[in-house]
Structure 1
Amino acid sequence: MSIRPLSRTDEARAKKIWKICFGDSDAFIEEYFNGIVRYENTLGYYEGRELIADLFMLKFQAKIAGADFETKFLAGCATMPEARKRGLMRELVRNAMLDMRRHGLAVTYLHPFLHDFYRRFGYETVAYVKKGRIIPRPGLENGRTLICSRMDQIPVHGMEAAYCSYIEHYDNAFHRTGGRFSQWLRLLLADGGYAAVSETEEIASYALYYMEDGTADVFELVCPEEKDSGPLLNSIPARTVNYIIPSVNDGDSEEFTMMRILNPVSLLEKVPVCKERFILEIEDDFLGEHYNLKIEKTVGGENKVEETDGKADLSLSIGGLARAAAGAFPAGDKCGEYFPRQTACFFETY
């Protein structure tokens, strides 16, 4: 058995694994492998010469508390049914973490099929959503909305500008750079999805969605104000429209994107803290590491972080640190003495 990056010769097998595990359309899988996959950013588990499990690492630029970080998003983590419950994905994820850290990354993200499964690896939820539903009432929309099902119909640059403007209101989000926005739209349309776009001089809102049996499921709703989303949602030609909006961790919201810290020092140097100085103890059970760090604010705005043997003021697991640094803890949590609460907006799931 061995773990190594996939190569082009593994593509047919990797597509088969994706199809079996996720059930996506052939058109989506083709677009994903042609437009998104970079084989140097993959890992596969091989039994002899046969690929039996794999994962993909997608390059992103994230902002955490407004500070920019190069990162990778884990996607397509899949194991053939006959090879499951052998700890293969655990080994793949561990190797991926170590590889990303060797390349200088401080954090990584994923959107899980089951949050508790990835908590075992040190991931923690840093973004929450709330669900809404409306019965569209045509005629309530103001202005016109363009319903797009092909790339040549879509005003990509206007939508990209709307997205960039939208995420400015959040502390934590992904920048979509280097053509990533267009790739995201191509995946949607290849899979039979739609974009509803407000037709104005400067596009300020849009909704990306799938239709099934008269129900539209909106997975990305970009609108300057939630109260202004009604006209856009009412323009979608469906009997029912389901949608999600970003939320804080308030007890009524649902878990969404997860983050995993790879290098606590690099992260803590850049995120805001509430106290001038404190000692933070961190246990990383999955990678078998322990940190005892003194954190001090500096005049330049970044923090000075160094190892110490002093007594900790706050002890956290590596997952707890992700939640604290991203400000995703509930109101009244002890972490609030040391880190500010923040807002997050992550639409990406692959």
Structure 2
Amino acid sequence: MEIRQIAADERTDTMFPLQAYAFMGSPWEDAERETYARRMAYYRTVTSLIAEEDGQTLAGAAAFPMRQNVRGVVQDMAGVASVSTHPSARRRGLVRQLMTQLMGQMRDQGCTVSALYPFRPSFYGRLGYVGVPRTRTATFAPEGISELLSVDLPGEVERLKLSEGFDAFNAMTLRLLQERHGFSVYDETRTAEFRDTPPLWAAIARVAGEVVGVVTYRIEEYGGDLVAEDFLTTGPMGRALLLQFLARHVDQVTRIVLTIAADEIPDLWGTDLAVHTEGQIRFPGKCGPMVRLLSIAALNGLSVGADAGVTVEVVDDDLIAGRYRLNGEAGVLTVEETKAEPEATLTCPGISALAYGVLDPIELMTRGFGQVQPSAIEALTALFPKEVPFLWADF
């Protein structure tokens, strides 16, 4: 068995049959293969690896070059996708070998963090990944937010086709990359594909000329659902302007379905709003995202909750194992290697969970992600207060 990196043009003949069988209805039509081949123009910066044996592609995995905000610092991120195996080659460890090489290669290319949507979380947990919240959906009748129609808000909303409003939409994502913990975006090559996605509307909210919110959506039919693909705002005013715009569809659609961040609370958007908020996880098909550190350097410069210091040892990981002194001073974290005795022993999922703000030191121990001495609990909690990440990009 040989692992080799392939160019985007080779993916159609090597990786497409594996991906189509794993993630699509099959057998697939020739038109689906042709559509995939056309999309490869947007994959030229993707790192794609395949495992071959006797000239046959048995497994594949890829990483998109992306960027992600982790506690205020924008990191280079490897967005892992296209992981699939020929059914006759499953349970042979091929994906583990591909992922091990891919993670090391992306780290060497400068990526300090990684994220993916797993087919089985426990498998990727053994590769150092830890779960973070999945986006949710909020479903409600437009009547529930009709009270907004009588409110005079200082701004306006423009409706365009996404292809026409793409620059404003893209600018919003780049702004949120700087402002929202966990937010991630593709590079320019991959982003260009979304300008040409199936037709969507983009409602763009502005206050004094500044874009403060964007929602992309489609209307299924008269009397049907208005389904929003993205609901992105810089704060309460952007949210209110977009909801007011959606409320104007009260005599056109029956329901509004919004994709929202995990920390949104839609039941507080209106007084008489009856809303169904759902965050569904199921296996297979709808797993929550997972993240990990590829380099301990990702911790340098992160915003900390309070000044503190602690020595930790990271174990059982080829990329980030070692002993480190973590110091928070003036609200900023610094990391340096040390030979001092550790006050906490953490796995890669453990230190990654702290960095992303999804688990506290007690939960690390209850989840089996490490051991923390009582004296270190307060310091780690001060350095890494809980914070809900918004992993927006789906890959």
TM-score bucket (shorter structure): 0.7 to 0.9
Distance 2:185 2:243 in 1: 26
For structure 2, the 5+ residue unaligned runs are: 26-31, 150-155, 266-277, 281-286, 364-376
Residue 173 of structure 1 deviates from its aligned partner by 1.6
**Paired residues of 1:172 and 1:326 also in contact (CA < 8 A):** yes
Question: Match of 2:140?
Answer: 134
**Paired residues of 2:104 and 2:319 also in contact (CA < 8 A):** no
1:143-162, aligned counterparts within 5 Å?
A: 146=159, 148=161, 151=163, 154-162=164-172
Distance 1:185 1:75, change over 3 A: farther
1:178 to 157, 166, 188: 188
> Is 1:291 aligned to 2:322, yes or no?
yes
Distance 1:209 1:107 in 2: 31
**Paired residues of 1:209 and 1:216 also in contact (CA < 8 A):** yes
Root mean square deviation of aligned Cα = 3.6
Distance 1:212 1:170 in 2: 31
Question: Match of 2:6?
Answer: 6
> Is 1:36 aligned to 2:43, yes or no?
yes
Question: Match of 1:306?
Answer: 337
Distance 1:212 1:108 in 2: 35
> Is 1:271 aligned to 2:286, yes or no?
no
Distance 1:26 1:240 in 2: 35
Distance 1:288 1:177, change over 3 A: closer
1:327 to 357, 371, 375: 357
* Comparing 96-105 and 44-53, the one that deviates more: 96-105
Amino acid at match of 1:341: K
Amino acid at match of 2:381: G
Distance 1:271 1:215 in 2: 41
* Comparing 92-101 and 321-330, the one that deviates more: 321-330
Distance 1:166 1:322 in 2: 22
For structure 1, the 5+ residue unaligned runs are: none
Residue 58 of structure 1 deviates from its aligned partner by 0.7
Distance 2:43 2:19 in 1: 14
Q: Secondary structure at the match of 2:128?
A: coil
2:259 to 244, 260, 266: 244
**Paired residues of 2:227 and 2:257 also in contact (CA < 8 A):** yes
Amino acid at match of 2:232: V
Residue 275 of structure 1 deviates from its aligned partner by 4.5
Q: Secondary structure at the match of 1:60?
A: strand
1:1-350, aligned counterparts within 5 Å?
A: 1-7=1-7, 8-23=9-24, 29-38=36-45, 41-136=47-142, 140=146, 146=159, 148=161, 151=163, 154-175=164-185, 177-178=187-188, 180-186=190-196, 189=197, 192=198, 194-198=200-204, 202-209=210-217, 214-224=224-234, 225=236, 226-234=239-247, 238-248=253-263, 256-264=288-296, 266-273=297-304, 274-284=306-316, 287=318, 290-297=321-328, 301-310=332-341, 312-329=342-359, 334=377, 335-350=380-395
Residue 30 of structure 1 deviates from its aligned partner by 3.8
Query: Could you list the per-position Cα deviations for residues 116-160 of structure 1 after superposition, in whole angstroms to 9, with x for gaps in the alignment?
Result: 3321211112344333112345995866663637x3xx2122222
**Paired residues of 1:128 and 1:344 also in contact (CA < 8 A):** no
Residue 166 of structure 1 deviates from its aligned partner by 4.0
Distance 1:21 1:245 in 2: 28
Distance 2:108 2:389 in 1: 27
Distance 2:340 2:312 in 1: 11
* Comparing 317-326 and 269-278, the one that deviates more: 269-278
Distance 1:249 1:279, change over 3 A: farther
Distance 1:63 1:289 in 2: 20
Distance 2:37 2:325 in 1: 49
Distance 2:211 2:170 in 1: 9
Q: Secondary structure at the match of 1:308?
A: coil
- The percent identity for this pair of structures is 17
Residue 324 of structure 1 deviates from its aligned partner by 0.2
Distance 1:104 1:279, change over 3 A: same
Residue 306 of structure 1 deviates from its aligned partner by 1.1
Distance 1:28 1:347 in 2: 25
Amino acid at match of 2:351: L
Amino acid at match of 1:339: F
**Paired residues of 2:66 and 2:186 also in contact (CA < 8 A):** yes
Greater Rg by CA: 2
Residue 46 of structure 1 deviates from its aligned partner by 0.8
**Paired residues of 1:36 and 1:183 also in contact (CA < 8 A):** no
